[in-house]
Amino acid sequence: MNAIQGAVIDIQTECINVLAAAGFKPDPAKKQLLDAIKAIVGNEVPAASTTQAGTVKLSSATDSDSETEAATPKAVKAAMDTAKGRVPASRKVNGHPLTADVNVTSQDIFDQQAVVIGPAINLNGIQTPGIYTCLYTGETKNAPVNNPGNLLVYRTNGIQRLQIYQPLYTVDVYVRYFQGGNTWSGWVKNYGCISRDEADALYRLPVGSAIAWPSDAVPDGYAIMQGQSFSTATYPLLAKAYPSGVIPDMRGWTIKGKPASGRAVLSQELDGIKSHSHNARAQDTDLGTKGSSSFDYGTKSTNPTGGHAHEFGGYVNSYWGDSNHTSFQPGGGAKTQAAGDHAHTVSIGGHEHTVYIGSHGHVVIVDAAGTAETTVRNIAFNYIVRLA
């Protein structure tokens, strides 16, 4: 065996030793030497820990508790940003230190924390959420009652606001909501600690009921019934009473109980008088023959323009002188002398006339009477309906 062969054998022996040290079984079909060297090198440099030096894996996690990984600058920055927003441990919440979980009770929240409202404050301007106390009776503007009390203001979505006012020494509660600008709805009274059914029985009617209202100023949430249309989607409860989406026009109308038959609900009935008749006649009577009242016309004169003349004739006696031979000779144009215009006096004297009436009847006319429409004594109210 020459020197070259000896050197090759030595190299092969060293390679086998390297494979064995790395835990490899020699296999001529595989290239194992490089892998064996890498394995031996890796095993010689241990992982770093708190007790020894070694290789370290970098990590950007900010919630890991590993002691074999090193934080990257990114992880350090995230931790610093979080630390800047933390409240120092020296701070306290209502006397409770922040070194442990803080339990806040209702006493912690409400104990002497209400804002006292001064005199002559307008509640319309209080829109910041919080608890307020009104101590000045009669001076607070737009309060629901003339009593001191507590005011709670709620706010949602930055727009909707709600005020709740509870007068002192009562269990009553008043609620209203913000409508925009500086306008609020009217206060609605809740009758203290009573059930919904009891509250409905006290002051609510079913939606759709016609309510007699003694004013032209309509309360919030209601409308005068004057034949107008409404949105059935906006007011679904009202739509149950009036599915057509039209509120009846109650102006000038009264309400009548639906008859047992012949009428539909909400049907109209115009003016009318129950059918009837009248008996009317003048009593038959025989007034007989009646005399007029007696009167005296005295003496009257005739017309004084009666001037005239008379034609005349004469008797002629015979020669013999007896009546047997007397004859009448008519006038032959001879006339008396005219007397001229003159008047005659005519005596009428007291007298009376007889008037015959007899048995007869009379036609009786009954004149129209009454007003333009049939009505009863009444007082005018507005009919209103609740919108819901």
- Express each pLDDT in 267-326 by its tens digit: 998 888 888 887 777 666 676 677 676 767 777 777 777 667 776 666 556 555 565 655
Tell me whether residue 315 is in a domain: no
Q: Domains in the chain: how many in total?
A: 3
Per-residue CA distances from 23 to 31, 43, 181, 308 (Å)? 14, 12, 85, 195
Burial (CB count within 10 angstroms: exposed 0-12, middle 13-18, buried 19+), residue 111: exposed
Cβ atoms 168, 140 nearer than 8 A: no
* Separation CA 370–CA 291 (nearest Å): 43
Integer CA distances (angstroms), 87 to 76, 90, 189, in order: 19, 8, 44
124 phi and psi angles, rounded to 5 deg = -60, -30
What DSSP string describes 78-96? HHHHHHHTSPPTT-EETTE
Question: What is the Cα 83 distance to its own chain's centre?
Answer: 57
| 262 lies in some domain | yes
Judge if 117 and 198 occupy the same domain. yes
Regarding whether 34 and 114 lie in a shared domain, the answer is: no
Look at residue 260 and tell me if it is in a domain.
Answer: yes
What's the CA gap between 73 and 58, in Å, rounded?
A: 10
Whole-angstrom distance, CA of residue 100 vs CA of residue 122: 43
Q: pLDDT for 18-35, tens place per residue?
A: 667 667 777 776 777 667
Range of the structural domain that residue 212 is part of: 207-266+379-388
In a domain, 39, yes or no: yes
Task: Based on the fold, state whether residues 160 and 174 are members of the same structural domain.
Answer: yes
Give domain status of residue 229, yes or no. yes
Nearest to 181 by CA among 243, 226, 115, 127: 127
pLDDT at 202 over 80: no
- CA contacts within 13 A on the Cβ side of 108: 9
Are 191 and 118 found together in one domain?
yes
Asked if 127 and 182 touch (Cβ cutoff 8 Å), the reply is no
Q: Is the pTM of this model over 0.75?
A: no
- Is the predicted pLDDT of residue 338 greater than 80, yes or no? no
- CA-CA distance, 230 to 208, in Å (whole number)? 12
Percent of the chain with pLDDT over 70: 69
**Same-domain status, 250 and 387:** yes
